[in-house]
A and B are shown apart, each in its own frame.
Chain A
């Protein structure tokens, strides 16, 4: 506790203290303790800062800055084209935007998820967390929340900008805004689902290795490999159920979710369009992937000391 200098000891006029004396001796803490919820929030904020390279060397900030730059690039292109060609650019919609963003989100998850988990394991920081009043589930919840929020900024902000751009470019912005206000809910729904889909897979992979570069490479490799296999099997087999192979391709799941939520039909060139699955299948896939990843990670972290 600081002890203000008593200016009035000599009977002089009472003045505002110009300085304070601090007793730097150790004292027992008798202030508030805010419990697990506060701890989880603190860990979410700390994880987000680490993911963005805040309070780290400048080299740690390069990848997040580049990814954000690339994430906003497509929406600026779309709005720019719309500004010039107007209604003729109708094909450049949320589906187009999310198709571009989902690729960036995969790269973002590959780069950021290892940043959130690998160092804690490699530098053996986990015992310090787990010897405090938080559970392993709390720790994982905070990590999923932290990465989910970061991914959400990549998924949501460009879409909001597209919404605002479309509104201001419309002949009657006010009418457009109220006619399309439901798009805001759709943006939040689609962005949140995609954010947690990509985040949970990234964290799952990062939870199994201490090396950030390996986790990032495995993530990108697994996405490409599984998508390649799914596409090959989809084209090779023609038995009706072959359509469900499309659910193994993250880009197709992203397309399917966005198409379903925004009510924009998929083009028939891609395998998601050819599969023609009901949107609920994509929603179910996202739910299963997120829950399964969380469950496997929890099981994995139960073994951590």
Chain B
């Protein structure tokens, strides 16, 4: 049995610290990431790429420890890397080589015999949307094509986990949608676990089901996407009738209700609020047109987190 099958967490870090001179990139990061399509979120400079490089063993941490698929990245980096793929943010492709040759070469570097490597390269490139173009030199490729080749080389050796660092960087909207669809397929259809680093919230929202948010090298928040975007949302009530009267009636019943244009917003405590709304609409003879949780976007969560951080920093400055 391999460490891969033994480990409970896909990635686990303990007090991971990395600095470049006086600049601290990661500050005591401890996080446990389950097997899922994981979005690594954060502004530029938050420490996303640094974390990926530490997890791959491309850089050494100043202190702390990390395991990937159960392999310690300090003590078992080579065993760990047999099971992972990596698509870096930078171009990272030799321009005077064909895509087929390069992806085949990368498969061989991952231990595949020469013939199997060539076949896998052709198959994987095809799956990534590079078909006949694979015989062209990569200097002739568009940004989107290069991103596809980078993705192909990351999965050509059939890894269990693939790190994708800003995979939609520099792509036009159509190409970006294609790439995100491809990444979703890699995870959902091919069964390869994905850690997607991005500063684009929509990318993560479209592809991932678990989020790790970094902020200035620290863990800002982590959890399943559904709990982050829905967990704290209000209840939205849509009625045909006097909205102000309905709000007052809810407030009389002890609920935190307020008006938002033609809707009524109601603080969610538990499922009983739905019963109260239903009963009140019957009592007041008001037609209930809609009753649902107000889903927040990841952007709402992110902006809320940012504003909380600003408040915290201001409080710290005042305290000093």
Q: Interface residues, chain A, CB within 8 Å of chain B?
A: 24-29, 31-36, 38-39, 42-43, 46, 55-57, 60, 119-120, 123-125, 127-135, 305
Identify which of B56, B78, B92, B116 contacts A125 (C-beta below 8 A).
B92
- A213 and B137 CA atoms in complex are apart in Å by 22
One of B103-111, B219-227, B283-291, B310-318 at the interface: B103-111
B132 at the interface (CB under 8 A from A): no
B282 at the interface (CB under 8 A from A): no
Given the interface pairs A26-B127, A29-B116, A127-B58, the reply to whether A34 lies near B86 with Cβ below 8 Å is no
Could you write out 16 A-B pairs with CB less than 8 Å apart? A26-B189, A32-B116, A33-B110, A33-B111, A34-B111, A36-B111, A38-B108, A38-B113, A46-B108, A124-B90, A125-B94, A128-B86, A132-B157, A133-B78, A133-B110, A135-B78
Min CB distance A141 to B, Å, is 13
Are A305 and B110 in contact, with the CB atoms below 8 A? no
Contact indicator B94/A305 (Cβ below 8 Å): no
Q: Does B244 contact A (CB under 8 A)?
A: no
Taking Cβ atoms with an 8 Å cutoff, the residues of B that contact A are 53, 56-59, 78-79, 81-82, 84-86, 88, 90-98, 101, 105-106, 108-114, 116-117, 120, 123-124, 126-127, 153, 157-158, 163, 189-191
By a CB distance below 8 angstroms, the chain A residues around B92 are 123-125, 127-128
A24 to B120, CA, bound (A): 10
B78–A119 CB distance below 8 A: no
A42 neighbours in B (Cβ, 8 Å): 105, 108-109, 114, 117
A32 and B113 form a contact (CB under 8 A): yes
**Are B111 and A55 closer than 8 Å at their CB atoms?**
no
Which A residues are in CB contact (< 8 Å) with B96?
A: 56-57, 60, 119
Q: With A128-B153, A132-B81 as given contacts, are A39 and B111 in contact (CB-CB < 8 Å)?
A: yes
Alpha-carbon distance A55/B135, docked complex (angstroms)? 11
CA distance in complex: A85, B105 (Å): 52
Residues in chain A near residue B117, CB distance under 8 A: 42
Contacts of B86 in A (CB 8 A): 127-128, 131
List, in ascending order, chain A residues with CB within 8 A of B82's CB.
33, 133
B-chain residues with CB within 8 Å of residue A305 when the two chains form the complex: 53, 58-59
Interface SS, A side: loop
Q: How far is the CA of A305 from the CA of B153 in the complex (A)?
A: 18
Closest residue of chain B to A131 (Cβ to Cβ) is B86
Find out whether the CB atom of A28 lies under 8 angstroms from the CB atom of B158.
yes
Best-buried of B84, B96, B106, B109 by chain A (most CB within 10 Å): B109
Given contacts A35-B111, A305-B59, list 17 more A-B pairs with CB under 8 A.
Answer: A26-B124, A32-B112, A32-B116, A33-B111, A34-B111, A36-B111, A38-B108, A39-B111, A42-B108, A42-B109, A43-B109, A124-B88, A127-B86, A130-B57, A131-B58, A131-B86, A132-B110
Tell me which residues across on chain A come within 8 A of B58, comparing CB atoms. Answer: 127, 130-131, 305
Centre residue among B93, B110, B126, B190 by max chain A CB count within 10 A: B110
- List of A residues within 8 angstroms of B157 by Cβ: 29, 132
A125 to chain B, nearest CB (A): 6
Select from chain A the residue with minimum beta-carbon distance to B50: A305
Question: Knowing A29-B120, A305-B59 touch, does A38 contact B111 (C-beta < 8 A)?
Answer: yes
The 10 A-B pairs with the shortest beta carbon distances in the complex, nearest first, are A42-B108, A131-B86, A29-B158, A33-B111, A26-B127, A133-B82, A133-B81, A124-B90, A124-B92, A305-B58
Return chain A residues, CB-CB under 8 Å to B56.
130-131
Chain A residues with CB under 8 Å of B111's CB are 33-36, 38-39, 133
Q: How far is the CB of B40 from chain A (nearest CB, A)?
A: 16
Chain B residues near A56: list those with CB within 8 A.
Answer: 96-97
Which of A31, A43, A55, A119 contacts B112, CB < 8 Å?
Answer: A31
Q: Bound state CA distance, A32 and B112, in angstroms?
A: 7
Q: Most chain-B CB neighbours within 10 Å: which of A29, A32, A125, A305?
A: A29
State the CA gap A46–B106 with chains docked (Å).
10
Contact across chains for A134 and B109 when beta carbons are under 8 A apart: yes
* Bound: A129/B108 CA distance, A: 11
C-alpha gap A24/B119 in the complex (Å): 10
A36-B78 in contact given A42-B105, A128-B92, A134-B109 (Cβ < 8 Å): yes
**Which residue of chain B lies nearest to A24 when distances are taken between CB atoms in the complex?**
B126
The smallest beta-carbon distance between A35 and chain B, in angstroms, is 5
Tell me the nearest residue of chain A to B128, going by C-beta. A26
CA distance A258 to B85 in the complex (A): 48
Residues of A within 8 A of B95 (CB): 123
Chain B residues, Cβ within 8 Å of A31: 112-113, 116
Q: Which residue of A lies closest to B77 (CB)?
A: A135
CA distance A128 to B93 in the complex (A): 9
Complex CA gap A305/B124 in Å reads: 26
A42 to B94 alpha-carbon distance, docked (Å): 16
A55-B101, A131-B81 known; A39 vs B113 contact (CB < 8 Å): no
Evaluate whether A55 and B91 lie within 8 angstroms (CB atoms) in the complex, with A26-B123, A29-B116, A131-B58 already known: no
Q: Which residues of A contact B190 (CB under 8 A)?
A: 26, 28
Knowing A29-B158, A305-B53, A305-B58 touch, does A55 contact B109 (C-beta < 8 A)? no
From residue B226, how far is it (CB to closest CB) to chain A in Å?
Answer: 28
**Cβ–Cβ < 8 Å partners of B127 in chain A:** 25-26
